[in-house]
A and B are shown apart, each in its own frame.
Chain A
Amino acid sequence: MIQALALGLADRRAHGLQAAVDELGWRVEWLDLPAAGRQRLAAGALPDLILTSAAGYGLEADTWRRLPLLPVVIVALPEAEAEALAAIQDGADGYLIDPGRPDHLQAARLKTAAHLALERKRLARSVEARQRFSRVQRVIGQTLLAGVDLADVLQTAVSLVHDQLGYDLAVVYLLEPEGQDMALSAVAGIEAAAVPADVYYLRRGERTVGRAVGTGRPARAAWPDNAPAHSVLGLPGYAAELSLPIAGGGRMLGALTVAQRQPTEWGGPPEADLQALAEQLAAVILNLESAQREWEQTEREQLLTHISHVANRWLGPNEVLEQTIDAVARNLRADRSALTWFDLNQAVFATEHEHINPLITERRSLKRRGPLTGPLAQIAETLQAGQCLVSTAAAPHPALGDYWAWLVQRHGVRSLIWLPVPSPVDGRLCTFSLMQVTHARRWTQADEDVLRAVAAQLALALRNAQLFDGMRQAAAQLEAKNSELEAFVYTVSHDLQAPVVSLRGFASLLQSRYRTALDERGQLYLNRIATNADFLGQLLQDLLELSRVGRREDPDEDVAVRSVLEDVLHDLGQTLAEHGVEVLLPLEWPTARYSRTRLRQVFSNLLTNAAKFMGAQARPQIEIGWQRATGAAGTPQLEFFVRDNGIGIHPDYQQRIFVPFERLKQVDVAGTGVGLSIVKRIIESRGGTIRLESQPGAGATFFFTLPDAVPVTDGDAVVYAGHDPAH
């Protein structure tokens, strides 16, 4: 019996159309307003056939385009034959000329037109189905070539079976490698969240899936009442089900199951297509299994390498833990991970860090802290004992108690693995957990092994990080102490200036105004007071300077070293002349990135020092030179030297000369002994180095480095910032 929908044919109904369909035994629904027809087609089950007028066909062109597989027959009056032909051109499946007289629309002609239309659409449907199927096969083949993982391929396959081949439900179960169970591996047609927890694993032999896997042949089931207790996912609403075994490489791998809400006759080309698909899936699974084994191995190795890198970086303990947990969660495709600390002495816990898969919609935070009571106390105890907690909906770990129910209810957790990090950190126990909310993941031995290895690495990393933390704290303390000391030196030497100024002032007044009131001895004593006060003043000045140079108060600029040295030679002209020193300078000069004042001080102190220690040299000489060099960090540097031909320094004393106020007792020269310490502090505070080459009696050479000015590339020529290439 054909169910037809007649659109806009009210006038023809009275002229014999009704009589013809009655004669054929069709059931016809008569609708006359185009809008009503459209609504009917959008809402209810589709009829087998549409009957409409040529004009009506033209009005509803969009509707026919949307329903390409619905047969449409035009019933036209003779004068509308041209329109009817146009409709055929446009996609209508057949037409029938109604002569316009009641007795002339013969039922037999209507039957033929309808039959042809139905046949035409059946053919189209099968062509379409073949095309869709080959599309499905192609896509699956492509996903395999793309090298994605098995879960993705299976999900793609079932989605295609559902969307493209038109099955209401498509699932794949795979046999567990070690057990008798079959694990739900992909599902399309319902929300993953709607899958009941107890069907994630099915026993071999259970339901059509089990039969297909058990026998290696297709297994069918039908539930005419649509209330199947034993449908593949145990859900109502399906009328028919077909499971096809997926087998390859001489073993059973799993099954592909499809289900329809309408009663369905299995067999024929659609089933053959599904069979071909199952074979293709078998090939894919075998292929990917070996690839995935290798890949998982590599990936896990990479994970451990990554973690040991993290552990070896100088991070604080929390950073190490957090980065590791994130890496583990991503690598093992966990939906959630959390880092929980238990303080067994203080009886508190704190979940301080978590990672949630960005695709998961349930994003409420697990982070919290509180007293360690109830189930958490038991959890802590179990983990403290070194045990690993594994829990799934099917088999919750007893130690988790109510905490598991809370995780399930609040966060939709379906599977959990929770491990301790072996060594307790300052009396506290560090633990981490991975959770799955999309499915009741069964943690494999391989998962547990890798997580145990991660835990061991973490324990190591934590110890390293703690050591580092201690070092960092000690360094910070030392630095604080140092700057405190420097500030103290600064204040003290500053405050000491005032009484020294008074001492010198009054001594000087005594010398000038009351000299005659003192005898020769008195004057000698007074002179000693004045000299000592002067020396004390100089010491304080130097001390101040020394504490100041380390602080880098002066900004760096591009300094033409030549101009600095010219200034210094001008200042020291008298001193150098007194000692009869000849100074040799290079012809070329670089630009340094430095404080001008400090650079001047460096040269001034080195030249003064060289001039001072000339001894009995008949032709005292100081030579200054430089060359480009590269610093430890690969930075461009300038290495200068200041060489003299004076008395030289015994190797035993070469380090001591840089110590403040340390003076080599063997010679009697003026000065407080701070000059070289100041030079060293200036050089080192700016990342440079200073060293000395010397032999007693053979002069001394000081080498020191300055940062090169930053080169600025200007076309092909390299010029130096602050240096005008025109000069």
Chain B
Amino acid sequence: MPGTILLIEDNPDHALLIQAALESAGWPAPLSVISDGAQALEYVRWHGPAGGYGLPCLVVLDLKLPKVGGLEVLQLMRATPGWQQVPVVVLTTSNHPADRDACLAGGASLYLSKISALDGPMTDLVQAVAQTVAWTPTRTEGDPPARGPHQEAHVH
């Protein structure tokens, strides 16, 4: 069984949508939700070889976070022993090229725009998770939405 997914997302609605998508795709493990950047930094310090608690198998990270920005959280992760190997999927409303470049340069595994990824069954997100942690979604539901999915994912 895969480990915990760490979801760093301040918008409760978006967190709910992500949870719903993973649940309906049959994600078997728990989901930890953190709603601001400061808590995320704390989490990084307490988890992993140095902190003593286990590492998540995947991080889904929003960029615009209260207190401390997502990019800074990403930088701390990449600078903390043990965390370097944890895949980080950045999921944000921004589709600005500068943000995307900064995240990929800062060590993000994947950059997804919420505008296209958080759409209905959220195929993009589920697929991204499946690829990153070697897990096969068990259930898919409903028909794909009438407007074709946008391919906004950029693999690093």
Contacts and interface: CB of A to CB of B under 8 A. Distances in A.
A352 B118 CA distance: 65
Given A502-B14, A513-B142, A508 B94 contact: no
B118 A505 contact: yes
A541 interface: yes
A497 B14 contact: no
Contact of B119 (A497, A498, A504): A504
A505 B119 contact: yes
B115 A508 contact: no
Interface residues of B, number: 23
B42 interface: no
A494 B93 contact: yes
Interface in B78-124: 93-96, 98, 114-115, 118-122
Contacts of A513: 24, 141-142
Interface in A493-528: 494, 497-502, 504-506, 508-509, 511-513, 515
Q: Is the interface of A mostly helix, strand, loop or mixed?
A: helix
Contact of A512 (B13, B14, B114, B121): B121
Given A506-B17, A512-B141, A553-B98, A501 B118 contact: yes
Contacts of B94: 494
Contacts of B119: 504-505, 508
B67 interface: no
B115 to A, nearest CB: 6
Given A498-B11, A512-B142, A505 B120 contact: yes
A556 interface: no
Interface of A: 494, 497-502, 504-506, 508-509, 511-513, 515, 534, 537, 541, 548, 553
A491 to B, nearest CB: 11
A511 B142 CA distance: 8
A413 B90 CA distance: 77
Contacts of A512: 120-121, 141-143
Contacts of A548: 96
Interface in B1-57: 11, 13-14, 17, 20, 24
Given A497-B93, A498-B14, A508-B119, 4 more contacts: A497-B114, A501-B118, A511-B142, A512-B141
22 contacts: A494-B93, A497-B93, A502-B17, A504-B119, A504-B120, A505-B14, A505-B17, A505-B118, A505-B122, A506-B13, A508-B120, A508-B121, A509-B20, A511-B145, A512-B120, A512-B121, A512-B142, A512-B143, A513-B142, A515-B142, A537-B115, A541-B115
A511 B143 CA distance: 9
Interface of B: prevailing SS: loop
A62 to B, nearest CB: 83
Given A508-B121, A512-B121, A501 B24 contact: no
Contacts of A511: 120, 142, 145
Interface of B: 11, 13-14, 17, 20, 24, 93-96, 98, 114-115, 118-122, 141-143, 145, 147
Interface centre among A500, A505, A513 (most CB of B within 10 A): A505
A513 B121 CA distance: 10
B25 to A, nearest CB: 12
A534 B141 CA distance: 21
Nearest to A548: B96
Nearest to A515: B142
Contacts of B13: 499, 502, 505-506
Nearest to A537: B115
Given A508-B120, A509-B120, A501 B145 contact: no
B114 A501 contact: yes
Contacts of A515: 142
| Most chain B CB inside 10 Å of its own CB: which residue of A509, A534, A537 | A509
B58 to A, nearest CB: 20
